[in-house]
Amino acid sequence: MTSSTRETRTVQAMHAIDRLTGAVIPPLHTSTTYARDADNALIGAQDYRRPKGPTEQQAAQVLAMLDDGADARLFSSGMAAIAAVLESVPTGGHVVAQTEMYYGARGLLQRALAKKRITLNLVAPGDLDALTAAARPATDLIWIETPANPSWAIVDIAKAADIAHAVGATLAVDSTCAPPCTTRPLELGADIVMHSATKYLNGHSDVLAGALVTRKSDTRWDEICEIHNKTGAIPGAFETWLLLRGLRTLHIRYARQSGTALWLAEQLAADTRLAAVHYPGLPGHPGHDVARRQMTGGFGGMLSVELAGGFEAARRFAAATKIFIQATSLGGVESLIEHRKPVEGADSPVPDALVRLSVGLETPADLLADIDQALAAAAATSKE
């Protein structure tokens, strides 16, 4: 499938014109149960909205198409989707994951380890030698995140897939910050891709949802579907309809956000008030060459900066912006800023002075001016 065909089919929600009314926008189905005829045969395709009603099925079909997957399931949150994958690991199964990743996912892994549900090895993102050393015949699951939040370290998905499959493990990829308009992990050899659909897929900061897409329907996927159904971790019909609404503009939103973020990173790279600028689109980023190969639709709207003045300078900077909103989350149409260390906690590996930026759709020059005045305000406050 060409990227233009994929984009067109997404914009039109896979040509889902309502045949009953002619509506060009997919309808919202809120019913939880579905009727049978006099012979007790279902009138339609559903009998109950768990695990998926008509609206959920439509959104799942769009996501499976976007990621070139065999099937997709929607969850009530990204965390619920991650939990379903971890639940599919057999008791005592070995998992390999990253030292740097979304801290909520890391917390789930550590909780499972503490309860002796799994054994666990953590390796630095992008360190393929360490990943090879950690993987062994007993390894059941390798979980990677690329770009890794919040330094945006890059992992070579194709090579990670080779390492996983060499020991018979499943490779699952958290691709939340690289949606399928730029990266399709399943095409690169991954077995399962996870999205926090709250972020770029929806793009409007008004939906909590997650998604899993599989490369093939196998016994592991059957188990994940069973977990999904029995735990009832499904999004509401209205949230799913909003997700479909957001998906229709995914490609154009992501392209604009990526372009602005790259321009901002290039401007900030020479700013002496910053100790570091982390963005995979910069040639000096350690994962730039791999990112160029697997992020074919842009490097994303996420970048992080480290303040030369340390923790307090980072705190003051994040609090001084006027356009960037100081809030948690990413991938929305509005730009957000966050001093990450206090959010993740004292045991987080995130540097004290790191500030995470999620670039929205505002005028690029306005965003740069806001960053500049906030850096100046932070510096002035430190001298008082």
Tokens for 236? 């509401």
pLDDT value of residue 2: 52
Determine contact, residues 220/170, Cβ cutoff 8 Å.
yes
* Type of residue numbered 342: P
Q: Please write the tens of the pLDDT for every residue from 166-203.
A: 999 999 999 999 999 999 999 999 999 999 999 999 99
pLDDT value of residue 4: 59
Tokens for 198? 């709250």
Strand order of the β-sheet with 71-75 is 71-75, 210-214, 192-195, 170-174, 139-145, 93-98, 118-123
Residue 384 clears pLDDT 60, i.e. is over it: no
Residue 116 region by backbone torsions, left for phi larger than 0, else alpha for psi between -120 and 50, else beta: left
3-state SS, the chain, equals CCHHHHHHHHHCCCCCCCCCCCCCCCCCCCCCECCECCCCCECCCCCECCCCCHHHHHHHHHHHHHCCCCEEEEECCHHHHHHHHHHCCCCCEEEEEECCCCHHHHHHHHHHHHCCCEEEEEECCCCHHHHHHHCCCCEEEEEEECCECCCCECCCHHHHHHHHHHCCCEEEEECCCCCCCCCCHHHHCCCEEEECCCCCCCCCCCCCCEEEEECCCCHHHHHHHHHHHHHCCCCCHHHHHHHHHHHCCHHHHHHHHHHHHHHHHHHHCCCCCEEEEECCCCCCCCCHHHHHHHCCCCCCCEEEEEECCCHHHHHHHHHHCCCCEECCCCCCCCCEEEEHHHHHCCCCCCCCCEEEEECCCCCHHHHHHHHHHHHHHHHHHHHC
pLDDT value of residue 380: 84
- What Å distances lie between residue 16 and 54, 102, 383, CA to CA? 11, 34, 60
Residue 382 pLDDT class (50, 70, 90 cuts): low
Residue 93 clears pLDDT 80, i.e. is over it: yes
pLDDT value of residue 45: 83
CA-closest candidate to residue 188, choices 198, 200, 203, 178: 178
Residue 70 clears pLDDT 60, i.e. is over it: yes
CA 299 – CA 182 distance, rounded (Å): 8
Tokens for 174? 């958290």
Residue 43 clears pLDDT 60, i.e. is over it: yes
Determine contact, residues 279/303, Cβ cutoff 8 Å.
yes
Tokens for 30? 């809120």
Residue 3 clears pLDDT 70, i.e. is over it: no
Residue 13 pLDDT class (50, 70, 90 cuts): confident
Residue 209 clears pLDDT 60, i.e. is over it: yes
- CATH number of 250-383, picked from 3.40.50.2300, 3.90.1150.10, 3.40.50.720, 3.30.230.10: 3.90.1150.10
Interval 108-129 mean pLDDT? 97
Q: Please write the tens of the pLDDT for every residue from 325-380.
A: 999 999 999 999 999 999 999 888 999 999 999 999 999 999 999 999 999 999 98
Q: Please write the tens of the pLDDT for every residue from 210-245.
A: 999 999 999 999 999 999 999 999 999 999 999 999
Residue 50 pLDDT class (50, 70, 90 cuts): confident
Interval 135-153 mean pLDDT? 97
Interval 81-94 mean pLDDT? 98
Residues taking part in catalysis: 50, 103, 174, 199
Residue 1 clears pLDDT 70, i.e. is over it: no
What's the chain's average pLDDT? 95
pLDDT value of residue 46: 84
Instruction: Report the range of poorest mean pLDDT among 43-57, 149-163, 274-288.
Output: 43-57
CA 318 – CA 362 distance, rounded (Å): 18
Interval 79-87 mean pLDDT? 98
Q: Please write the tens of the pLDDT for every residue from 97-107.
A: 999 999 999 99
Residue 124 clears pLDDT 90, i.e. is over it: yes
Indicate the class that CATH gives domain 3-247.
alpha beta
Residue 266 pLDDT class (50, 70, 90 cuts): very high
Domain boundaries, the chain: 3-247, 250-383
